[in-house]
Each structure stands twice: as C-alpha cells, then as structure tokens.
Structure 1
C-alpha cells in the first residue's frame, strides 16, 4: 500500500502505477444484496436457475454498477491518503464495461495516477483504473475516476 501525506507526494506518482488491490470474489449473495439495495432484480443477476438455461453466460452475472461500487473498497487497499480535511468523488470519465462478471469470479483494481492539478489548494486527481477479472484478458470495467483531496496545511 502506498501512503500519501500531501499534494506533492501524490504529484510525484504522476504516470505511475499506484498498485493493485487484493482479489475479491463476487458471489451470488453479494449480487442479491446489491439487487436489494438498488431495487434492480433483473433475472440475469438474481435467478441462477433461469440464467443457467436462458443466459448466454449459463450463469448469473454481477450488475455493472455493483462492479463500479467496489471501486472505493479496492482503492482503499491500494492507497492511504493522510492529512485530509475531506475527500470528494468528483467524476467519472471514459468509463466502459469491457465484459460481464460471471458469478463466482474474482476481481481486483489496478490504478495509475493519470493526471493531477492544484485548484487553489484543492488537489484534483484523475485515477486511471481497471477492474480486472482473474484469468481474463479484458477488464470488467475501466475508466478515469476523479477525486478532490482537501489536504490540511502543514
């Protein structure tokens, strides 16, 4: 895990891979809980018997937004940003789903500092991310997540 305490320390990572998270299995229970939380109970996600027969994947698949929602968990395994007043999610750019996540698959995040700017004392950091599926060439999801970091003055 990389530890960051200031804008300057983060800026020194520009263009570098920040790391990879641990693998996390996406099981049917997690998918069902996400369906309950989002009220999205489409059968391709929550009906294993029907999916075995009717789905081209012969299995249920994770919601795309479930995959996206794992980003903060994975991000916190890669980096620890200290000395903050607060952090704000600012935006997502160039986000695309590369392939479905078959139930039981394991995912991880690989992240690179894509860009960084000092906005009058606020750090705007663009993180190029790929959520990879173990054993697959194409990622489940990739894009650029932008965070605003409000560092305390030292």
Structure 2
C-alpha cells in the first residue's frame, strides 16, 4: 500500500500506476443486496436459473453500478492518503464498461494517477480506474475517478 502525506507526494505519482488492490470476490448475496438497495431486480442479476437458461453469460452478473460502487473500498486497499481534513468523491468521467462481471468473479482495481492539481488549497486528483477480472484479458471497465482533498 502507498502512503501519501501531502500534495508533493501525490504529485510525484502523476502518470504512474500507483498500485493494484487485492482480489475481491463478488458473490450472489452481494448482488442481491445491491439489487434490493437500488431497486434494480433485473433477472440477469438476480434470477440464477433464468440467467443460466436464457442469459448470454451463463450465470447472473454483477450490476455495472455495483462494480463502480466498489471503487472507494478498493482504492483504500491501494493508497492511504493521510493528513487530510477533507476528502470528497467528486466525480467520474469517461467510463466504459468492457465486459460483464459474472457472479463469483474476483475483481481488483488498478489505479493510475493521471493528474494532481492544486486549486487554491483544494487538491484535485484524477485517477484512471481499471477493474480487472481474474483470468480475463479485458477489464470490466476503465474510466476516471476524481477526488478532492484538503490536506492539514
């Protein structure tokens, strides 16, 4: 895990892959809980039998937004940003879903620091987030996550 204490340390990683999280298993229970939380019970996510019989993936798949919602958790496995009085998930840009994440897949986040800018004391960091699926060449998605920080 990388530890970042201030703007200059963050800036030193600009243009680099900063790290990759450990593998994380997405199981059917988590998919079902996400479906309940978001009221998105489309059968491709929640109906095991129908997904096996009729679905294009041979099983249920994780919601795309479930996989996106893992970014803060997986990011914390890569980087520990310290000396922060404020941290905000500011936005996401240019996300493309490359392939579905079948149930019981293991995924991990690969993060590249695209840019680090000081906006009058608020640090804007753009991270390229790439969600990798174990034993798959193509990532589940690629896109930019924007964080805002104010260091102590």
Q: TM-score, normalised by structure 1?
A: 0.97
Alpha-carbon shift at residue 63 of structure 1 (Å): 0.2
User: In 1, Cα distance between the equivalents of 2:4 and 2:132?
Assistant: 24
Local SS of the residue matching 2:135:
coil
User: In 2, Cα distance between the equivalents of 1:9 and 1:116?
Assistant: 10
Note the alpha carbon deviations across 1:84-130, whole angstroms, 9 max, x for none. 11101111111010000011110000001001110001100000110
Alpha-carbon shift at residue 26 of structure 1 (Å): 0.7
Q: Any residues of structure 2 matched to 1:39-118 within 5 Å, and which?
A: 39-118=39-118
- 4+ aligned runs moved over 6 Å, structure 1: none
Local SS of the residue matching 1:102:
coil
User: In 2, Cα distance between the equivalents of 1:67 and 1:44?
Assistant: 15
RMSD over aligned CA atoms reads 0.6
User: In 1, Cα distance between the equivalents of 2:122 and 2:37?
Assistant: 33
What is aligned with 2:30? 30
Note the alpha carbon deviations across 1:52-93, whole angstroms, 9 max, x for none. 111011100000000000101100000000001110111111
Q: TM-score, normalised by structure 2?
A: 0.98
Local SS of the residue matching 1:33:
helix
Local SS of the residue matching 1:8:
helix
What is aligned with 2:151? 151
Note the alpha carbon deviations across 1:11-63, whole angstroms, 9 max, x for none. 01111111000001111011001001111000000000111111011100000
User: In 2, Cα distance between the equivalents of 1:91 and 1:58?
Assistant: 33
What is aligned with 2:8? 8
Query: Which ranges of structure 2 fall in alignment gaps of 5 or more residues?
Result: none
